Amino acid sequence: MTDTLDPRLGWSRWRRSWWYHAATYAHTWRGSVASTIFFPIFYLAALGVGVGHLVTQHTGLVQGQTYLHFIAPSLLATTAMQLGEGESLWPVLAAIKWIRNYHAAAATPLEPEDIYLGKLTWVATRSLGTGVVYTIVIACFGALQSWWSLTLPLIAVLITLAFSAPLIAYAATVQSDGSFMTIYRFAFVPMFLFSATFYPLTAYPGYLRPVVQLVPLYHGVALARAAAFGRGAWGAVLCHLAFLIAMAVVGVIVGRRTLRRRLVD
């Protein structure tokens, strides 16, 4: 038996990269576990219960739901996005440029594609874990109404991948982290606030609605809501799914190339 790796058996190599990322995370998990559990509780308590109380007094139900139930799925979606974003910019550039551990990994039998896919699967793993915690928290607040809500963790994974794959591809091309803060503040914060997250799409003036529908997170939020409440037109759901999958696939295609170019060429 030789120890050489069959180049076709991708997983046998990129799972090493997955392990590597998991092991790194093992050093730093404490803080992020606390935020994974407490942040949804904080948001649901303040916005769902607190602001929800005011909404109920004035408006009553929002799209047939209490305000608490209405925003609970969108928090899962936004958190999945933030996870993908937080894991894919600074940490990737650090691994390429400052700590240079991706260069070390590229000096082993791992190909840059393996590193990329290992990173991506690791982010997806974390997203799955976070998704499960969120689904439980949301269930505790009584916001789950259908068996479809069991798919919420998977939806979280899809949303994370849709953001993570292209962002890693981008992070592999930059020389400094100068643009990251701008992306965070001027793309992700507005996306968090303007993706029909905290109120229905109908609150926007008619001419703005198509614009909102082009925002990637909007599709994540809509998908999560459809799953939590078990209602939603099949056509619309497929459209949301297609949008997110397309982002992830394009990200993977580009990212494999950009990371190779950065590490090897």
Q: Which of 3, 9, 23, 28 binds other proteins (CB under 8 A)?
A: 28
**Does 211 interact with other proteins (rule: CB under 8 A)?**
no
Q: Which of 54, 104, 154, 238 binds other proteins (CB under 8 A)?
A: 54
Token output for 261: 């170019």
In angstroms, what is the minimal distance from the CB of 236 to other proteins? Answer: 20
- Tell me the window of 120-128, 164-172, 192-200, 247-255 that interacts with other proteins (CB under 8 A): 192-200
In angstroms, what is the minimal distance from the CB of 156 to other proteins? Answer: 20
Please state, as a whole number, how many other Cβ atoms lie within 10 Å of the Cβ of residue 63. Answer: 13
Q: Which residue reads 């999945």 in tokens?
A: 80
Q: Which of 11, 19, 38, 146 binds other proteins (CB under 8 A)?
A: 38
Per DSSP, 6 falls in state P
Please identify, using beta-carbon distances, which residue of 45 and 238 lies nearer to other proteins: 45
What is the dihedral angle through the alpha carbons of 68, 71, 75, 81, rounded to the nearest 10 degrees?
A: 180
What span, in angstroms and rounded, lies between the C-alpha atoms of 94 and 57? 49
Alpha helices by DSSP H, 99-215:
101-106, 112-140, 152-171, 178-183, 189-193, 209-213
Please identify, using beta-carbon distances, which residue of 181 and 242 lies nearer to other proteins: 181
**Does 32 interact with other proteins (rule: CB under 8 A)?**
yes
In angstroms, what is the minimal distance from the CB of 63 to other proteins? Answer: 11
What is the dihedral angle through the alpha carbons of 131, 134, 139, 142, rounded to the nearest 10 degrees?
A: -130
Q: How buried is residue 1: exposed, middle or buried, by Cβ count under 10 Å (0-12/13-18/19+)? A: exposed
Q: Which of 186, 236, 261, 264 binds other proteins (CB under 8 A)?
A: 186
Q: Which residues bind other proteins (CB under 8 A)?
A: 28, 30-32, 34-35, 38-39, 42-43, 45-47, 50-51, 53-55, 57-59, 62, 67, 178, 181-182, 184-186, 189-190, 193-194, 198-200, 203-204
